[in-house]
Chain A
Amino acid sequence: MSSELMIEMKNVHKWFGELHVLNDINLEINKGEKIVICGPSGSGKSTLIRCINRLEEHQRGNIIVEGTELTNDSRSIERIRGEVGMVFQQFNLFPHLSILDNCSLAPIWVRKLPKAEAKEKAMEYLKRVQIDDQAHKYPAQLSGGQQQRAAIARALCMEPRIMLFDEPTSALDPEMIKEVLDVMVGLAQGGMTMIVVTHEMGFAKEVADSIIFMDEGQIVEAKNPKDFFDNPESERTKTFLSQIL
């Protein structure tokens, strides 16, 4: 195992008005590690990963992604967004563009790839998530599971070194959850560094190197899956696990 440090969060705090949504978060994630974050709603887990690519701004502490510290400098934000891909709960595909154009848009305009090359690469990733036959359709013509896989392909087309997943299966019908999780498992086996906010404990058991339990803006517990499920220390973790398992 290499232990190249990919993401470092030091004493990170964030408030929404009076509400202390992130309270002294300390986290180190190495290359190739898969982290699953769970916790009750409003615990700050989504906010935490959204701070990593600056969709939310942290107010105190340091976030360093691949050696670049996140500051208000737009160049640091751009550099980090180029390295970090994100998948959203609501897919957030661009409805006015075909699936193929959704995937090739950023490579063309951000990475400055020639059009043909970007589309070729997009097709490659669409094949990997097994929807290359849908490439010329529009998002509204696809099922939820297909849309989410397209969204994963869109993120991968930027060839990120880190992937963030914000409850990727929560908006899906039950029979479509597996097809998305399969893609994510495949990605994990390929060595991608991943941070996944999810309640899919089966997925967590299978791929996570470490599971983080958050409550009220704090990291309550962070352990490998076996210890997390077998010997949770805190009462809050135990209550949470008893509710979702």
Chain B
Amino acid sequence: MSLANKEIGPPVIELGVMGWLRKNLFSNWYNSLLTIFGVYLLYILIPPLVNWIFLDANFVGSTRDDCTNEGACWIFIRQNIKLIFYGLYPTEELWRINFVYLILFISGVYLLIPELKYKGWVGAFLLIIFPIICVIMLSGGLGLEAVETRLWGGLFLTLVIAGVGIVLSLPIGVMLALGRRSKLPVVSILCTIFIEIWRGVPLITVLFMASNMFPLFMPEGVNFDKLIRALIGVMFFSAAYLAEVVRGGLQAMPKGQYEASQAVGLTYWRMMTLVILPQSLKMVIPAIIGSFIAIFKDTTLVLVIGLFDFLGIIQFVGTNPDWLGFSHEGYVFAAAVFWVFCYAMSWYSQRLEKKLDTGR
């Protein structure tokens, strides 16, 4: 019986390209209609876009007169690239930023290669030593010339704000989530108030407060750097959102996991760090990355307090009389770069989810 069954193959129509097309695109009349409509839509949209971005676009030259105006004028981006990537950071000091990028890139690639060992040490280096290197390299010290933060800008500034916001907000968010669920009423109430206040205020308000009102409350002569104030604002704002995401993960944990940890004698912190958090953080990876992506994009709001982030500086160079009328190119470029960063985070989160999946 079973032998005989093996010899009968599936119907031919189910297999191959034709089978796939039939099953997925033309399974019935409205599906076929949708397929045809979809193909038509792509046909009228894609060729003009490709023409504008690539085929008719101008890549070579140095002024706007080199642009034919039939397609995009990427010369505009090329001529302003230093401003767009680094802001007003002094040209002779740019190697410092690039050096930091290089370290970040090498450690990042190292962490992504599964075969390599000592990942823990590289991670610890990134989280503990690398930030110190960043501060010294970027703002000056140890013989390096000081570069004021008002000169920081462009994609570099966006990465600084988003990076600091993301890296610091996660641990703060986790602590707030644990605090909110604490059995100690004082801790729980304080954490709840903190979270709800930050979540109840738009980020733009937070940034205004940090930039304009905060100094009013400080004693005379105390003057925090504007960037640091914005960083603190972004960090707490993001932490409050993450706290609720993490709390969701904590609440999804079965009670049995807490009881089993207690029964083998783990203390509260051991239970949390060894058993509960690894599982609940894993559960909410998509939501955490969602928060990170949101924060990355929200950094564009720092423009309102006079910091020129990536998008801000692109808008700014678009107002340069030499380059008026190229805002389309600027926005398309900004969108593409933002997409690359956000998609990278999204891709990494999917990879992480797969890697950490142990079944349930």
Binding site for B on A (CB under 8 A): 53-55, 74, 78, 81-82, 84-86, 88, 90, 92-97, 105-106, 109-110, 138-141, 151, 154-155, 158
| Cross-chain contact A95 with B359 (CB below 8 angstroms) | yes
B interface, CB within 8 angstroms of A: 254, 256-257, 259-267, 270, 274-275, 278-279, 282, 356, 358-360
Pairwise interchain contact B256-A110, C-beta atoms closer than 8 A = no
18 contacts between A and B (CB under 8 A): A53-B262, A53-B263, A81-B263, A85-B264, A88-B260, A88-B263, A90-B254, A92-B254, A92-B256, A92-B260, A94-B257, A95-B359, A96-B358, A106-B265, A106-B266, A109-B270, A140-B359, A158-B264
- With contacts A92-B259, A95-B358, A140-B360 taken as known, whether A154 is within 8 angstroms of B265 at the C-beta atoms is no
B359 / chain A contacts, CB cutoff of 8 Å: 95, 138-141
In contact, B279 and A96 (Cβ under 8 angstroms) = yes
Which residue of chain A has its CB nearest to the CB of B259? A55
Task: State whether B274 touches A93 (Cβ < 8 A).
Answer: no
Q: Name the residue of chain B whose CB is nearest to the CB of A157.
A: B264
- Inter-chain contact A88/B259, CB cutoff 8 Å: yes
CB contacts (< 8 Å) of A78 on chain B: these are 265, 267
**Contact (Cβ within 8 A) A109 B256:** no
- With contacts A88-B259, A94-B275, A105-B274 taken as known, whether A155 is within 8 angstroms of B358 at the C-beta atoms is no
**Interface SS majority for chain B:** helix
Contact pick for A109, options B263, B274, B282, B356, CB 8 Å? B274
* One of B260, B265, B282 near A93 (C-beta < 8 A): B260
Known A-B contacts A90-B256, A92-B257, A109-B270; the reply to A81 vs B262 at CB < 8 A is yes
* Given A95-B359, A140-B358, CB of A155 within 8 Å of CB of B257: no
A233-B96 Cα distance, complex, nearest whole Å: 87
Query: A109, B257: Cβ atoms under 8 Å?
Result: no
| Cβ-defined contact, B263 with A85, below 8 A | yes
Chain B hits for A90, CB < 8 A:
254, 256
Nearest 9 A/B pairs, CB to CB: A140-B359, A92-B260, A106-B264, A92-B256, A86-B263, A81-B265, A138-B358, A110-B265, A82-B265
Report Cα–Cα, A94/B275, bound state, in Å: 7
What distance in Å separates the Cβ of B250 from its nearest Cβ neighbour in chain A? 15
Q: Which residues of A contact B265 (CB under 8 A)?
A: 78, 81-82, 106, 110, 158
Name the B residues within 8 Å of A109 (CB-CB). 266, 270, 274
Is the pair B279, A95 in contact by a Cβ cutoff of 8 Å? Answer: yes
Q: Which residue, of B260, B266, B275, B358, has the highest number of chain A Cβ atoms within 10 A?
A: B260
